[in-house]
Every structure is written in C-alpha cells, then in structure tokens.
C-alpha cells in the first residue's frame, strides 16, 4: 500500500493499557500558563525511566475553564493508580504550585477512582490552609507568597491507552523533520490524545532488552542508519533518517484516529516508508495495523 510516494509497511503499532489523570491548569495569562505547562510536562517522555508520561492534550480558552482564566488540559499516564498517586502530587507541588498565579482542577470529575491531590499538597500550608466545598468537589486554598494556590482535593483516574506510534523513514534529515512536524501538528488538533516526547518526536527509538545487565531497553539498532551493514536492518533503501511519533490517549478510538491522521499528513515526498513499532504482539493488548487504519 502506498500513500502517494510513501510505502505504508505491512506492520502494526503495539500499545498498552495504562491509567491516566487529566488536570486542568489555569493561570493569570498565557505567559504564566506556558511556564507551568513547560515545567509540569518536563521529564515526562517514557515510564521506562520517568515517573509518568505527560503532555498537553489541548489548550483551553477562558470560557472553558473553571475559573474563567486561560488554561490547558494535561494528561498524565502511569502503569498503575499507585504510581500516579505518587507522581501527580509531586509534579503539581514542584512544578505548578511554584509557578505564579496558577490553579489546578480535576479534569475527570465523573471518575469513580481518585488519587489525593490537594488533600496531600495542603500540608505545605503548615496549618494555615483552608478548604471549601462547592457541590461535590472540595478545594484547598494554600497560602503562598503571591496570594493563594487553589487546588482540587482529588484527581480522577481512568483507563487509557499508551504507546500508539508511527515510525517514518525519510531520505534526508530535513525530510524527516518536516514530516514529523506535520504529524505532531495534526495530532495536536485532536482531543483526548497527547505526544509525550520532545515536541512529540522520538529519535532514540528503543527495543526491549540490552547487552548490558540491568538495562531494560536499548537503541533500536535495526532502524539506525549508521549501523546499516552491521546489524539486520529494517531500513528501506535510501532511508537516512528515522523518527518515531508516540501517542497516548484516553481510549483505543482516540489513539487510532490520531495515528490515522498522522499517517495521512506524514506521507509525501522524501518520506520513503512509514511503519509501526511493536514487540511481536506479545506485550501490549492493543494492535493498530497501519493498513487497516487507512482502509
């Protein structure tokens, strides 16, 4: 199958069941909102080593936020509710509460499962914190040096899908960079998904295991252009640059739609082939076959 000049490999992406939290972060204006988002999503690319996979789902205009200020929905993924219960309050406390003017709200109000958020962070108030309940949610007002940090008591947890992906093989690095940006721009327009890696793009794709003891993942040598001829390569002829786009989403439908849109805009001149990253279908229960997505 081809999309224009680009070969769509007969491959699939293998994704995993994970838990996620959606936070609504607001601030006085776009400048401080951007500061909070950059800080809170940092070091959130892969749970191989990070405490969570974190990214901005979408920006929110003031009329869509609980306090009528500029905001954003942020998704945080972890392998378990317990893992999120550790990671989320830590990130909010260190990266959002410290940022001037911010507030944090639960973006999954109907979720049956929750983790402590303001309930844990309130202790920073050293006894001066105050709580207020409006209908069901309880909020904590924690005194800080520019006023008060407002944070909802708990954050909802739901089941999501993480690890959807496409892997593009390009003739040159410039071709690859341009195609990767087309893909991430298309994904950013969609609700319920996010791309956790830097600007949504991975250059250091990995395989399971390594020759060195204790390392759970190592470089995907089959897709490294400089190792062509030294390993069993999966590169198509003339491919000199490979980038992977990883997608986490709230459900299987959202991830599949994001992959479909990314495939359509990534294909083009200079992109020789697009495939998917998988582990033989043995590790993740969600299999996104690229040709089926396009059919």
Q: What is the CATH number of the domain that holds 148?
A: 3.30.70.520
Residue 102 tokens read as 């911010």
What are the tens digits of pLDDT across the range 40-95? Answer: 999 999 999 999 999 999 999 999 999 999 999 999 999 999 999 999 999 999 99
3-state SS, residue 257: helix
User: 245: which residues sit within 8 A by CB, 6+ positions away?
Assistant: 165, 166, 167, 168, 180, 183, 184, 187, 195, 200, 201, 202, 262, 266
How many other C-beta atoms lie within 10 A of the C-beta of residue 157? 23
Give yes or no: residues 183 and 255 share one domain.
yes
State how far the Cα of 294 lies from the Cα of 192, in Å rounded to an integer. Answer: 20
Are residue 255 and residue 204 in the same domain, yes or no? yes
In this structure, the answer to whether residues 41 and 117 fall within a common structural domain is yes
> Do 37 and 136 lie in a common domain?
yes
Residues 199 and 237 in one domain: yes
Kindly report which listed range (56-60, 144-148, 283-287, 289-293) carries the lowest average pLDDT score.
Answer: 283-287
- Rounded to two decimals, the pTM is 0.95
pLDDT digits (tens, 9 = 90+) for 129-153: 999 988 789 999 999 999 999 999 9
Per the structure, the complete domain to which residue 33 belongs is given by 19-158
Among residues 102, 117, 115, the alpha carbon closest in space to that of 19 is found at 115
The span from the CA of 71 to the CA of 64, in Å, is 8
Tokens representing residue 187 in the block: 């994904």
Q: Is the dihedral of CA 93, 99, 247, 68 positive or negative?
A: positive
Number of structural domains in the chain:
2
pLDDT value, residue 235: 98
Domain end residue (candidates: 128, 158, 188) = 158
- 280 pLDDT tier (thresholds 50, 70, 90): confident
Residue 165 pLDDT grade (very low, low, confident, very high; cuts 50, 70, 90): very high
Tell me the pairing of strands 138-144 and 130-133. antiparallel
H/E stretch holding 25: strand 12-26
> Are 107 and 93 found together in one domain?
yes
Kindly state whether residues 146 and 171 are assigned to the same domain.
Answer: no
């Amino acid at each position: 199958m081809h999309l224009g000049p680009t070969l769509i490999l007969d491959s699939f992406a293998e994704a995993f069941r994970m838990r996620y939290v959606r936070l609504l972060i607001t601030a006085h204006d776009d400048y401080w909102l951007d500061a909070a988002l950059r800080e809170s999503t940092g070091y959130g690319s892969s749970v191989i080593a990070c405490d969570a996979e974190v990214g901005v789902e979408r920006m929110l205009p003031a009329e869509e936020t609980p306090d009528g200020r500029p905001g954003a929905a942020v998704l945080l993924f972890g392998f378990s509710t317990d893992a999120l219960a550790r990671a989320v309050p830590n990130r909010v406390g260190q990266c959002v509460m410290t940022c001037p003017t911010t507030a944090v709200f639960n973006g999954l109000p109907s979720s049956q499962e929750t983790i402590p958020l303001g309930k844990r962070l309130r202790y920073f108030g050293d006894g001066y914190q105050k709580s207020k309940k409006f209908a069901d949610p309880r909020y904590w007002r924690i005194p800080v040096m520019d006023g008060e940090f407002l944070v909802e008591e708990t954050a909802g947890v739901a089941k999501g899908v993480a690890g959807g992906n496409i892997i593009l093989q390009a003739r040159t690095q410039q071709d690859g960079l341009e195609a990767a940006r087309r893909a991430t721009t298309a994904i950013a327009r969609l609700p319920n998904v996010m791309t956790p890696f830097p600007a949504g793009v991975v250059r250091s794709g990995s395989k399971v295991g390594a020759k060195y003891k204790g390392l759970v993942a190592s470089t995907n040598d089959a897709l490294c252009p400089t190792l062509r001829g030294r390993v069993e390569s999966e590169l198509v002829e003339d491919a000199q640059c490979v980038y992977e786009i990883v997608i986490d989403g709230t459900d299987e439908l959202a991830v599949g739609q994001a992959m479909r849109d990314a495939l359509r805009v990534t294909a083009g001149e200079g992109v020789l082939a697009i495939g998917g990253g998988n582990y033989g279908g043995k590790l993740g229960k969600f299999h996104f076959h690229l040709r089926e997505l396009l059919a």
